[in-house]
Amino acid sequence: MKPYVLGIDIGGTNTVFGIVDARGVVIASNSIKTQKYHKFEDYLNELYTEAKKIIEANDAVDKIYGIGIGAPNANYYTGMIDTAANLPWETPLALADLVSKKFGIPVAITNDANAAAIGEMTYGAARGLKDFIMITLGTGVGSGIVINGQLVYGHDGYAGELGHLIVKRNNGRLCGCGRTGCLETYCSATGVARTAREFLEARTEASLLRNIPIEDITSKDVYDAAINGDKIAKEIFEYTGKILGEAMADMTVFSSPEAFIIFGGLAKSGELLLKPMREAMEKNMLPIFKGKAKVLLSELKEADAAVLGASALGWEAKTTPIPAATVAPATAVTV
């Protein structure tokens, strides 16, 4: 069996790619700007050229088992990106097919949160777990659900959008999805900043956060203020953690996971967020599930996580029956 996979994480700003071995060691990695080319063909040419460089430099020609790609709204079943607000290319885009033809290597794709879950299961905190839920707390809230050791894609490939559970049925915040009250409007980095603005406007107490123009406050500012003992900032984390914990209790009645794995920028807030989250989760848990679900932090190094997550899917590129349309025969160009 070929010893490496190529992981490609396509983000709105950067595309990071790396060669990864079976133990999750990133042998080499590099990145290109996602937004540089408006035509996908030009972008793919640069990606291929740059990836080829690290492949050749690391004696990995003909040693790449598969390519795994994490990208916004990428559909595992179809290999397509149907629509993605943050990417510059025309959609629908036959991503898996085009990349596979270019590299001559089988490709599997999924969205970034699912890729993170697979990465965690393959190399990280979820090794050995068959039932867990990965929650990524970044600009938005993403999720990857694993049941019976399998990622949950749903009948259409789009399952696992737990950031869009409705947590406030009335008077909820407007979400990017067009609805109101979604979990991610409260428990993402952006949500924390929104809570800060709401709290500061509704109250008159002094706060370190009042030194920052209110529209510029970020979740990092709230974290810094909380660490410095700021009362309002600490309450913002308690509010955020409580909503997240309540939602996790609801997620548990669905799939009764052995663990939740928390990942992403906000997870770095540590106990400021995790303590109220755990408390609210346990307090709201259906009795039969109380005290069972672990809360674990991701074990993937932040710098490598995106590539590792994507790469882990590369190991599935051959073994999983991807529809024929999405995987080109491994001929064409051999790298």
The values of phi and psi at residue 261, to 5°, are -110, 125
Q: CA-CA distance, 126 to 101, in Å (whole number)?
A: 32
Among the listed residues 153, 223, 263, 315, the single contact to a second copy using CB under 8 A: 153
- Asked whether position 289 contacts a second copy by CB under 8 A, the answer is yes
For residues 9 and 115, the answer to whether their CB atoms sit within 8 Å is: yes
Stretch that binds a second copy, among 49-57, 89-97, 148-156, 218-226 (CB under 8 A): 148-156
For residues 108 and 46, is the Cβ–Cβ distance under 8 A?
no
- Using rule CB under 8 A, residue 127 touches a second copy: no
Does 1 participate in binding a second copy (rule CB under 8 A)? no
List 2, 38, 127, 292, residue binding a second copy (CB under 8 A): 292
Cα 155 to Cα 162: distance, rounded to the nearest angstrom: 16
| Segment contacting a second copy by CB under 8 A, of 91-99, 113-121, 177-185, 261-269 | 177-185
Could you give the string, one character per residue 203-242, with x where binding to a second copy holds by CB under 8 A and - elsewhere? ----------------------------------------
What type of residue sits at position 215?
Answer: E
What does the alpha-carbon distance between residue 304 and residue 20 come to, in Å, rounded to a whole number?
A: 10
Is there a contact between 18 and 318 (Cβ–Cβ < 8 Å)? no
Please, which residue, 35 or 150, has the CB nearer to a second copy? 150
Residue 152 within binding range of a second copy, rule CB under 8 A: yes
Q: Name every residue whose Cβ is closer than 8 Å to that of residue 169 and which is 6 or more positions away in sequence.
A: 181
- Cβ proximity to a second copy: between 97 and 161 the closer is 161
Would you call 228 exposed, middle or buried from its count of C-beta atoms within 10 A (0-12, 13-18, 19+)? exposed
Per the listing, tokens 């809360």 go with 295
Q: For 117, which DSSP code? A: H
Q: 161 vs 235, which CB is nearer to a second copy?
A: 161
* Residue of the chain from 14, 31, 91, 255 that contacts a second copy (CB under 8 A): 255
Q: Does 22 engage in binding with a second copy (CB under 8 A)?
A: no
List of residues contacting a second copy (CB under 8 A): 129-131, 145, 147-148, 150, 152-162, 164-169, 177-179, 246, 249-251, 253-258, 284, 286-289, 292
